[in-house]
Structure 1
Amino acid sequence: MQLCMHGLVSGKVQGVGFRQQTQREAERLDLNGWVRNLVDGRVEVLFEGDEPAVRELQSWLDKGPAGARVDALELEQQSLQGITGFVIRR
């Protein structure tokens, strides 16, 4: 089954390589989507693919990379977007 998740990550998530590491994890899991910084200090993410891989990235996002501190992860399921690849949006 394919899933698409969209959400926000709050905490110390900018200036710590969060977007780059998210992209690496997503590519490793063969997920499609994007990640970007928001002006309010949060990170926005959308990712889709096979459910087990989506759940694995969801679990990773809840912790983040070394140097990050995730205070909150808010995700909601959305309809599939049909995105190809995983990019960092600016």
Structure 2
Amino acid sequence: MILKLVVASHAVLATKAPDPAPSAPPGMDAIAADFLAWGKWILLVAGVLGFMICAGMMIIGRRNRSQTAVDGAAGVPWVFAGLALTSLAAGIAGVVL
């Protein structure tokens, strides 16, 4: 009995189920494109501000505040990583789906 269930489940799993391409619901194409464009713009502004804040901390921390300069320099890789993840988001989501 159990062997029949295992064989049957293996046969079901071995067959390839149809995998349709993603498509937007009717009327949602423009709304989704606008939403993604706004998100990309907001993240671009946040990235530029992040680099400017890190640079400002490094400038301010130059004299007698070395920890501030170190914190500013340590923030640069985080801003870069956030922007890199933003640029890779569509590709990563496409691979997962």
TM-score by length of 2: 0.28
Q: Which has the higher strand share?
A: 1
Instruction: Flag the structure with more relative contact order, 1 or 2, with Cα contacts below 8 A and sequence separation at least 6.
Output: 1
TM-score by length of 1: 0.29
Q: Which has the higher helix share?
A: 2
Larger Rg: 2
